[in-house]
Amino acid sequence: MTELLAMDYRPVLAIMCPIIASFLILVSGRRPNIRESWTIIGSISLFLIVLSMTPFVLKEGPIKCSLFKLFPNIDFAFNVDAFGLIFATTSSCLWILVSLFSIGYMRGLEEHAQTRYYFCFALAILGAIGIALSANLVTLYIFYEILTISTYPLVAHDESPEAIYAGHKYLAYLLTAGVFFLLGILVIYFLVGTTDFAPNGILKPALGSTSRLVLQALFFVFMLAFMKAAWMPVHSWLPTAMIAPTPVSALLHAVAVVKAGVFGIIRTVYYVYGTDLMHELNLGLALGLLASFTIIVANFYAIGQVNLKRLLAYSTINQLSVIILGAALLSPMAATSAMIHIAYHGFMKITLFLCAGAIIVITGKTEISQMRGIGRQMPITMTAFSIAAIGMCGAPPVAGFISKWYLCLGTLQAGQVIFLGVVLISALLDVVYFFPVIKTAFFEKLAVPALANGGEVGEKTIEAERPLYLFMIIPLAITAIFSIIFCLFPHTFHILDLAEMAVRNLFGGM
Amino acid sequence: MWDFIVSKYNYWIYIILMMIGFYGMMAKNNFMKKVIGMNIFQTALILYFISTAAKRNATLPIVEYHHGHGPGIVHAVDFINPLPHVLMLTAIVVGVSTLGVALAIVILIYKRYHTLEEDEILGSKGK
Amino acid sequence: MEKIISNSPALIVVIPLISAFLTLGIGVLKKKFCYPFAVIALSLSVFSSVVTLNTIIKTGTIHYHLGGWDPPWGIEYVVDYLNGLILVAIAIIGLMIVIFSKETVKMELPERIPFFYTIFLLEVTGLLGIVVTGDMFNLYVFLEIASLAGYALIAIGEDGAPLASFRYVIMGTIGACFYLLGVGYLYIMTGSLNMADLTQILPNFYHSKVIMVAFVFFVVGVAIKMALFPLHTWLPDAYTRAPSAVSALLAPLMTKVGVYVMIRILFTVFRPEFPIKMLHATDIMAWFGTFAILFGGIMALSQTDFKRMLCYIIVAEIGYMVGGIGMANALAIKGAIFHIINDMFMAACLFLVAGIVMHETGGHDISDFTGIFRKMPFTAAIFMVGALAVIGVPPTCGFFSKWYLLLGGIEAKHWGFVMALLLCTLMNVALFFRVIDKGLYVHALEHKLEHASEPKELQFHEAPLSMLIPGFIIAIAIFLIGIFNQAILKNIIELAIPSGL
């Protein structure tokens, strides 16, 4: 009993926040203002709880909390370590901002089924936080499935035939991935009898009892399990899912689903397999090649896109594989880069998507060619967009520079210069497709012709036309500013400290 | 070979009866014939069990008491095995109940479709 | 109290039996009292079964000699860890369904209420008797009681029910007769009908042809009763056309009791080495199980009727259990036994939802599920729990039994079974999300109908409480069984695994 009381219950509190919020959202469906306030309260409390755990973890080490026994040697347990906290901090902070944006978006477009939307959103965040805090593969699997199932009604929200088709494709990919995940977990449990995460991996003992080929094949089963990370060629659910409302796309592409995928991959590489086993089986190189393929090909796909959201989708696919590449290099600096890029890319990508969403709501435009001169109509929005785009290309003073810098150093540290080339080429290609958007927005004439009476209509900013729009503009400005802050002050939210601590534990103080 | 068939003639009879019943159930179109087939099948089974009770030079399994004394020592060899007979009483009852339920269902079918031929019923359902 | 505890195995069966006849009498006098009387009878049954399980956990296997006659001359009721748990599950589900049945019986069978409850109680008696008995012939008797009551209950359903029931009569009788033939062969060779006795005597006869043929007849007979592919053809029609309360009772229980009988015969009466090593029957069963899973899944995908889809899912679930038995290792048998309990609750949950939808909309097609998340949110929640359990999403119970079945398959290196199970998971996802789509996505429909606020068909109209409460209890049970699965497994099921595996 005393050990029950001595357990730190903060992980459980963190999980309870979204659960209680979702329930309250469901019952206050008839009163929209109260319903939205539950979301805001829940997200702020979650963020504060996560932030409170950070100093403790930095000083003392992981917070462990085991709830009940699922199987022999597998508990439903939480293990809040440095790496998990990076993901948790990012998700919870961005939940607040995306919720504010959603209020503006959903009410601006007068969308249907808003209660279902906020309910599923809260459950999706539950999935993300659970994934971040879980202590073993089975707990991760539980929250993984919660994430997939709760995001399905969000993707198909529109309920048009295309939206339902997109939802079915989404589910087909991700639940198949879940089946592969289950198979992988079972084989690991069968081989070593445990599925807990440990910094040096748990699979090393299996080398004695089974062949190398089995372990290599098992790794690819796990890669298939993490189709959420949208590596090619199992990426095509992501562009199709762009038909979802933009806050959902922001959630999918910055916060929850895709980051859960790369989070799972990093957990598998470092905490299940471990760096020694990865070197032994040459899996680092294989993974690196796979990631490089995705990086380059996704960039080429992005260059040809006319729809802004699809362009951002391919940019996401590209950046996720940058994170995977960082993990695959198996060197301390590259691993640091992967971990901080989870957070930094989250903030930058969300800025881009929120801008796209604001443009859709305020002007109704979705294609880049329609957005000529929109920079003058929506200056704050397009400035934020440009800041984030600069960051995606890896240029200072935006956070993307820090993670790209660490990554390049990491490739040199690992001695794989070819990947350095890949990173630099991809940065160049990023400029190729982001620059035209900025150019079209700022440096081209407005699409609207001048009025007969001489004045040019639409030159004025329309961002503050309705007070509702401020709900959208302010969050995206905040995320853009955070992207700059992360570059100038890397210790914000302790993201860099957490990454360094995690890497130190993994590589033993190298 | 001939010896094999003749000495176990009872078993052959039951097999033939069972197959007749089985054929009736499967191949006949009319529901009444199926029910009759089912009954023949069950009866063959009951007969088989009874035959396992028979013994050479043994008499009915009824023990007689002699004027107020107990039953005395009973030589089981002299009596045929009563247990299968008892079990088959139960089985006969089960068979009768099954027959009853099956016939009730046949009545329901007839009330609905006015025919007891399976192919006619399936044909009319197809329309 | 002492007397009740010591006689509880018999009470479990006797109470519903006597109540069945009393119900008939009461019903003739006053129809209204049938329902409460049936509920009371089954509650007493639940109580005795829980008492029995408690006794088993405390003191071990119960041997109850009916009438005071010692075995092998008398009939013996043997309740060990395996039966005890299944008894409780059957009794609880029986009670839940009888509570649920009030409204549907009033709607579907208004003039037959006393007869319905009589036969209902007889059916539950039969099922409980099959599980509790330790005598081979007694099992046949109870099997026939359950089957006959089943035939009658199914035949009073909707259009096409008598035909479906007739097919079930023919096939079920063949199955029971095969079982009886097997019993006869065993009796000829060993002279005993008592299961425990047979376990001792049979090893001397394992090489005899008669015993091998007896085994085959047993397996085929029980396979017909439990609807193992390809002997399942009676199941889809019968359970689809039956009245809602009847399919909700029979679908979870009848076939799973068949699996229990199979486990008893395979591993208790015949020692495990006989089917596994000498006959290699388990290898064949593993493949039949695999094909059953694939067949059930594929056929279910092509159905438009919700209840028919559920029937094929049941065929697939039986495939899981038979395949698990076929793996012949402790992990897979653990999974199979646990899955018996889980499938009872999952099938009860889903058929209950089908019954509610039938009561509200008059049909059990998938299109009748349109908008249920708005019309009947509580029913939709119960449906989600059942769907997630069948798919195998933690923490519902379905995940845990699937885990053990898959682990057993991996240990036995039977990749066909493992792949079939995983494929079936995906097929179940497609099946249930088809229905969830219909239920969830109403706004396109709304826009199509008119831009009015809420068309009449989508207004909130929840099912009556007597139907919802059993649903909630079963849904909560699904979660509890999942969360406490280690407690159930360690204390009961691991002790039920036949030794020698």
One digit per residue, the tens of pLDDT, for chain A of length 510 reads: 455 555 678 888 888 888 998 888 888 878 888 888 888 998 899 999 888 888 888 888 788 888 888 888 888 888 888 888 889 998 889 998 998 888 888 888 877 888 888 999 899 999 999 999 999 899 999 999 999 999 998 998 888 888 888 999 999 999 999 999 999 999 999 888 888 888 877 888 877 778 888 888 889 999 999 988 888 888 889 988 888 888 888 887 777 899 999 999 999 888 888 888 888 888 888 888 999 999 999 998 888 888 888 899 999 999 999 999 988 888 888 888 999 899 899 999 999 999 888 888 888 888 888 888 788 888 888 888 989 988 888 888 888 888 888 898 888 888 888 888 888 888 888 888 888 888 888 887 776 544 444 434 455 566 667 777 888 888 888 888 888 888 888 777 778 888 888 888 887 644
Annotated domain spans of chain A: 1-269, 282-448+456-510
Give how far B42 is from chain C: nearest CA, Å.
7
Residue B18's pLDDT is: 93
Distance CA A356, CA A365 (A): 9
pLDDT given for residue C500 in this prediction: 66
Which residue range is the domain that position C473 belongs to?
340-501
Q: What is the pLDDT of residues C172-217, one digit of tens each?
A: 999 999 999 999 999 988 988 898 889 888 888 888 889 999 999 9
CA distance A300 to A291: 14
- Which pLDDT does position C73 carry in this prediction? 79
What pTM does this model have? 0.90
H or E, element range at A68: strand A63-71
Which of A378-392, A491-505, B74-88, C399-413 is modeled with the greatest confidence? Answer: C399-413
pLDDT at A451: 44
- CB contacts under 8 A, A 299-318 vs C, are none
Tally of structural domains, chain C? 1
- Give the integer Cα–Cα distance in Å for A439 and A434: 9
Cβ within 8 Å, pair A142-C441: no
User: Do A141 and C394 lie within an 8 Å CB cutoff?
Assistant: yes
- Non-local CB neighbours of A399 within 8 Å, separated by 6+ positions: A344, A347, A348, A391, A483, A484, A486, A487
pLDDT at A453: 43
Task: State the pLDDT confidence band at C140, using cuts at 50, 70 and 90.
Answer: very high
* pLDDT tops 60 at residue C455: no
The 10 Å Cβ neighbour count of residue B63 is 9
CA-closest candidate to residue A50, choices A1, A100, A14 = A14
Contact check, Cβ <8 Å, C170/B34: yes
- Residues B2-55+79-126, CATH architecture: Orthogonal Bundle (1.10)
pLDDT of amino acid A277: 85
Between chains, do B48 and C152 touch, taking CB under 8 Å as contact? no
Arithmetic mean of pLDDT, C210-235? 93
Closest residue on chain A to C430 (Cα): A172
pLDDT at C497 over 70: yes
Strands A74-80 and C62-65: unpaired
Contact state of C441 with A156 under an 8 Å Cβ cutoff:
yes
- Looking at residue C123, its pLDDT comes to 95
- Determine B/C contact with 3+ CB pairs under 8 A as the test: yes
Query: Is the Cβ of C22 closer than 8 Å to some Cβ of chain B?
Result: no
The alpha carbon of C403 is separated from its chain's Cα centroid by a whole number of angstroms, namely: 20
Residues of A within 8 A of C443 (CB-CB) are 112-113, 159
Percentage helix, strand, coil, to 5, in chain C? 80, 5, 15
DSSP secondary structure, C179-198, as one string: HHHHHHHHHHHHS--BHHHH
pLDDT band at C386 (very low <50, low <70, confident <90, very high): very high
Long-range contact set of residues C234-237: C-beta below 8 Å, sequence gap at least 24:
C234/C164, C234/C167, C234/C168, C234/C171, C234/C172, C235/C311, C235/C314, C235/C315, C236/C308, C236/C311, C236/C312, C236/C315, C237/C160, C237/C163, C237/C164, C237/C167
Q: Are B49 and B76 in contact (CB under 8 A)?
A: no
ipTM: 0.92
> Quick check: A186 and C410 CB within 8 A?
yes
If we measure between CA atoms, which residue out of C279, C175, C273, C180 comes closest to residue C233?
C175
- Chain C residues in contact with chain A using a Cβ-Cβ cutoff of 8 Å: 388, 393-395, 400, 403, 406-407, 410-411, 418, 422, 425-426, 429, 433, 437, 440-444, 446, 483, 485-486
pLDDT: is B72 or A471 the higher one?
A471
Residues in chain C within 8 Å Cβ distance of A76: 395
For residue A158, what pLDDT is reported?
83
Q: Is C27 contained in some domain?
A: no
In this complex, the residue of C388, C418, C483 whose CB is nearest that of residue A68 is C483
Closest-CA residue of C relative to B26 is C170
Angle at B13 between CA B12 and CA B15, to 5 degrees: 65
pLDDT, position A331:
87
**Which pLDDT band holds residue C458 (cuts at 50, 70, 90)?**
low
Q: C159 CB near a chain B CB, below 8 Å?
A: yes
How confident is the model over C429-458, as a mean pLDDT?
72
Query: Residue C110 domain-assigned?
Result: no
Bigger pLDDT: C146 vs A456: C146
Contact B25 C170 (CB under 8 A): yes
Closest partner CB to A175 (pick from C426, C441, C486)? C426
Nearest CA of chain C to the CA of B16: how many Å?
15
- The reported pLDDT for the residue numbered A508 is 67
HEC readout, chain B: CHHHHHHCHHHHHHHHHHHHHHHHHHHCCEHHHHHHHHHHHHHHHHHHHHHHHCCCCCECCCCCCCCCCCCCCCCHHHECCHHHHHHHHHHHHHHHHHHHHHHHHHHHHHHHHCCCEHHHHHHHHHC
Residue A455, pLDDT score: 38
Query: B: neighbours with 3+ CB pairs under 8 Å?
Result: C
Decide if B76 touches C, using CB distance below 8 A.
no
pLDDT digits (tens, 9 = 90+) for C287-297: 999 999 999 99
Which residues 108-137 of A are in CB contact (within 8 Å) with C?
Answer: 112-113, 116
C-beta atoms of B38 and C169 within 8 A: yes
Residue C438 placed within a domain:
yes
Tell me which chain C residues have a C-beta less than 8 angstroms from the C-beta of A186: 403, 406-407, 410
Across the range C403-418, mean pLDDT stands at 92
Q: Are the beta carbons of C441 and A164 separated by less than 8 Å?
A: yes
Task: Work out the minimum CA distance from C184 to partner chain B, whole angstroms.
Answer: 6
| Omega of the bond leading into A397 within 30 degrees of 0 (cis) | yes
* Minimum CA–CA partner of C189 in chain B: B52
Q: Is C473 inside any structural domain?
A: yes
Interface test with C, best of B22, B87, B124 (most C CBs within 10 A): B87
Most B CBs within 10 A among C138, C154, C163, hence the mutation to make, goes to C163
